[in-house]
Amino acid sequence: MRVTSEYSRPRVACIVGTRPNFVKMASLITEFQQRGNFDALLIHTGQHFSPEMSKVFFDDLELPLPDIHLGAGGGTATQQTVGIMRELERTFASTRPSLVLVVGDVTSTLSAALTAAQMRIPVAHVEAGLRSFDRGMPEELNRIVTDAISDYLFVSEQSGVTNLLAEGADPGRIYSVGNVMIDTLLRFRTKAGLSRILSGFGLAPGSYAVATLHRPSNVDDPLRLAEMVKGLTEISRLVPVVFPVHPRTRKRIDEFGVCLEHLILSEPLGYLDFLHLMSNASLMITDSGGIQEETTILGIPCLTARENTERPITITHGTNRLVGVNSAEIAAAARQVLTGTKPRMAAPDLWDGHASERIANILEQKLGCFPDADVSSRCVAAVS
């Protein structure tokens, strides 16, 4: 554990725990390191602890090894929350961060924000304000609570600003900065092009679909999971379907006895391999929020197997379409995409690869790196 540091530099505790966290934090850590004005402390909660869900992403994303690994993975969400908070309380007491930076909407995000708030440590939330308006999703509760106790709300799309203001958030805490996940995608897209994943599957660019399913609300329900897999099987009659299976999904498939026929199955893929696979697909089928955003930038048609999305800009300005979990509707939508033309959409505002720079600009001023600087010329405030 790295405890001592130059306390003339603000210490920022950067919390990660799952694959999406790693992707979002990668661009921020790189930006902090390049500037040298922060003491960035990378803390891995251990929420995703298997090598294919964790270590490979650190390697692909050129992330430094975590300064601290809490090893708090496993168990239910409640058990994870308690375990992470217990370990973080000790960690924050010994490392004394000036700020706790959290990303996304997973258990680690909420646990770190709650612990920091209770210890009177300022919290910054990246991807603030996103709402599905479905409180049956644990991620929605995580977002709402994290935003309510955060001091800095970094928003990736306009709906986030609208939602936060409607909930009574102080406008002075809200900043439109863009999308850090897109920063990482644009940074590694060329490197991902060197991947040999297509030849490994015996596929040609544009000749296949890719599917990912992991949301508890989908895969923990045997009927919903079976219905979605049936939809993928129907699509496989049109084009090959590559299905990298999340550990949680694999466990439920085995538990429920769901039949997987005619699909190209694999273990979870590293970031670079998956980005290359996704970039060359003719179609994505997913319940992931991040993939909705990435396909918007890549111009790949995306069918989201949910009734709602917390990222509406991927529908209004992107390539995404909500199709629910009915197998017939999923297959019909896929058939329409595969026989139609690819949508061409402009990138959403501020999804330009510079979101991490904007966040660093704000934190430099707010944490006193440049106390006399005019932050207004270096970041984009949501409201005046």
8 A C-beta contact, residue 302 and residue 135: no
* Token reading at 273: 């391999």
List CB contacts of 340: < 8 A, sequence separation 6 or more: none
Task: Identify any residues that bridge with 264 across adjacent strands, giving them in sequence order.
Answer: 242
Assess if CATH 3.30.450.20 describes domain 190-338. Answer: no
- Give the active site residue among 44, 48, 125, 214: 214
Q: How far apart are CA 44 and CA 55, in angstroms?
A: 11
Q: Do domains 11-178+354-377 and 190-338 have the same CATH topology?
A: yes
Q: List, edge to edge, every strand of the sheet that includes 174-176.
A: 68-69, 39-44, 11-16, 99-103, 123-128, 152-155, 174-176
Confirm whether 44 is a catalytic residue: no
Q: How far is CA 225 from CA 78, 218, 255, in A?
A: 23, 6, 11
Q: How far is CA 137 from CA 3, 214, 314, in A?
A: 37, 12, 19
pLDDT the model gives residue 44: 95
pLDDT the model gives residue 58: 86
SS3 369: coil
pLDDT the model gives residue 56: 83
**What are the domain boundaries of the chain?**
11-178+354-377, 190-338
pLDDT the model gives residue 374: 47
pLDDT the model gives residue 378: 42
What's the predicted TM-score (pTM) here?
A: 0.92
Q: What is the mean pLDDT of each run of 10 residues along the chain (384 residues)?
A: 57 95 96 94 83 75 93 84 96 98 96 98 98 94 98 98 98 98 98 97 98 93 96 97 94 94 94 97 97 96 97 95 97 95 83 98 90 44 46
pLDDT the model gives residue 50: 60
Q: How far is CA 263 from CA 54, 209, 378, in A?
A: 25, 10, 48
Domain 11-178+354-377: state its class: alpha beta
Q: How far apart are CA 123 and CA 152, in angstroms?
A: 7
Q: How far apart are CA 298 and CA 132, in angstroms?
A: 23
Residue 76 neighbours by CB distance under 10 Å: 9
Q: How far apart are CA 12 and CA 18, in angstroms?
A: 19
pLDDT the model gives residue 48: 64
pLDDT the model gives residue 91: 98
pLDDT the model gives residue 74: 75
